[in-house]
Structure 1
Amino acid sequence: MITISVEDLWKSYKEKEVLKGISFSVNEGEIFSLLGPNGAGKTTTIKVLSCVSKPDRGKIEILGMKVPEECNKIRKIVGIVPQDFQGFSDLSVRENVEYFASIYEGDKSQVNGVIEELDLEEYKNTKFKKLSGGLKRRVAIACALVGNPKIVYLDEPTVGLDPKARRNVWDIMRKLKDRKLTVLLTTHYLDEAQKLSDRIAIIYSGKILRLSTPESLMKEFEKPTLEEAYLALLESIGEE
């Protein structure tokens, strides 16, 4: 079952074309990664799919609902973890999650559930501003999950984290997949994408260069890692 369908999506900001007719689909229960350098259009894609920005043109459907026409319905089934999630500094972990539960029409049992699921019980009364970067990212994911979404968008979720915290986030993503949630991940960490992704889309200068699996791209360029295959793809189009 296709949960996300994007056809010929275009988006510009201040007359600069950021997305130039990209198309892809995401299946139910898979981890699908948008890969590319900063400025490639990954975050803009997330913003359009999450109804933060309107597309200039193109056909976008989330579980059969159209963007932007049915965004009020779409927002109720989508959890978003933005790269720049801040949280409320002087509120506790629990208070932050409760706030997002009220937005997503979650209930008290869901708050308890996500706090436990993300191993935040020990920190539930700690103010957000006193948490480490890894714990803040876990709180961000908890806030996205508290409304029982069917789709979760993770925009560069491990940027700035130490190796242990990164792997904690990876474990969380695997658990989301085990729960049959659809995960759309943006990242420029190729090792992360190789370990987690069912399929990938490599986006560069607003265009998709490849839709593939990590294994297929590695095989295509005869490379042992996704990072090396990715670099070989860029070299093949004249980019270093």
Structure 2
Amino acid sequence: MTTKENAVNTTPAKGTQPPEAAAVLDDVRKTYGGVRAVDGVSLAVRRGEFFGLLGPNGAGKTTLVEIMEGLRKADSGTVTILGHHPWPRDVRLLPRLGVQTQASAFFVRLTAREHLATVAALYDAPRRSVERTLAMVGLTEHGAQRVEDLSGGQRQRLAIASALVHEPELIFLDEPTAALDPQARRALWQVLRDLKSAGRTIVYTTHHLDEAEELCDRVGIMVNGRITALDTPGRLVAAGSPMTRLLVPADRLTLDQAQAIPGVQQATLEGDTVVLETLDSGPVLSAVDAIAGLQGVRTRTATLEDVYLELTGTPQG
């Protein structure tokens, strides 16, 4: 994969700002002691774009997002958010931004509804926005519960509601589906799609690579403070390995039989499954069919997770 080429081709030229950009970063750097947390990052997020930021723990994602939010000052480089510089703290930007963090603060003695009403009042948002936003994140029936009595997943949804209640233009979401059960996670996906359809811009970090592949217009993969790949999920996957994996139940096909099939590059045993890797799946599938039949056989092509592992060498998490 030509990851360097991906990054260069999608990074704005120095000193330029793409039209309709919600966020523009130019050679942004931040160092803590001898650690380069952000090391020369340049990128642009278009208005209305769903942009995902991926990378292993310690890659610099949180620092970069906090610089964009105006919570940290970059050592050098320039940052423009909705036409303004976020540092020093710009009060004109605050109503236009929505921020959800993993360590969100709550008024724990208030009910969920009261908490959200307090946040709405801080932004001078209309009272009706409280009920609308509670419904949006599936918390209407829990609105009368004290925040301290909510489950972890419910608090996560309340944190997201707090970032959305004033209808911001640019929304920063840090692991928004963490602590959510699968049903709530999928429901939030639809909320995020609706926000994008309404013209909101979303900058989003996640450890769920399937989620990023499903939702994001573009993703940036960050390693050691640098953006090592930046493109649409589809193009990143297409530029990766063309290998197809065939997954065959081990009680149907032995490892020796798999390795003897023409066109199989590698065969391995993973639990109760024989995994065949091939560049030409058609003839290999025909050979498997002749030996064992195709019942229970699955195929798996490259995914964003494969690209991520190739670039970082570590599983996301």
Aligned to 2:306: 228
Give, in angstroms, the shift of residue 9 of structure 1.
0.7
Alpha-carbon RMSD: 1.8
| Amino acid in structure 2 at the alignment position of 1:16 | V
> Retained in 1: the 8 A contact 2:156–2:179?
no
Map of 1:129-208 to 2, 5 A cutoff?
Answer: 129-208=148-227
Aligned to 1:29: 48
Give, in angstroms, the shift of residue 69 of structure 1.
4.2
| Amino acid in structure 2 at the alignment position of 1:228 | D
> In structure 1, what is the Cα distance between the partners aligned to 2:72 and 2:89?
13
Larger radius of gyration: 2
> Retained in 2: the 8 A contact 1:81–1:154?
yes
Q: Deviations 1:142-172 (Å, cap 9, x if unpaired)?
A: 1111222101000111223332232222222
Question: Aligned in 2, Cα 1:157/1:117: closer, same or farther, shift over 3 Å?
Answer: closer
Q: Between 214-223 and 195-204, report the one with greater CA deviation.
A: 214-223
> Retained in 2: the 8 A contact 1:50–1:75?
no
Aligned to 2:114: 95
Give, in angstroms, the shift of residue 112 of structure 1.
2.5
Identify unmatched segments of 5+ residues in structure 2: 1-19, 243-300
Identify unmatched segments of 5+ residues in structure 1: none
Equivalent residue for 1:68, pick from 87, 90, 96: 87
Q: How many residues align?
A: 237
> In structure 1, what is the Cα distance between the partners aligned to 2:61 and 2:192?
18
> In structure 2, what is the Cα distance between the partners aligned to 1:55 and 1:153?
18
Q: Percent identity?
A: 37
Which portions of structure 1, spanning 4 or more consecutive aligned residues, are displaced by more than 4 angstroms? none
Alignment of 1:40 with 2:59, yes or no, is yes
> Retained in 2: the 8 A contact 1:51–1:75?
no
Q: Which has the higher contact order (CA 8 A, sep 6+)?
A: 1
| Amino acid in structure 1 at the alignment position of 2:172 | Y
> In structure 2, what is the Cα distance between the partners aligned to 1:7 and 1:229?
25
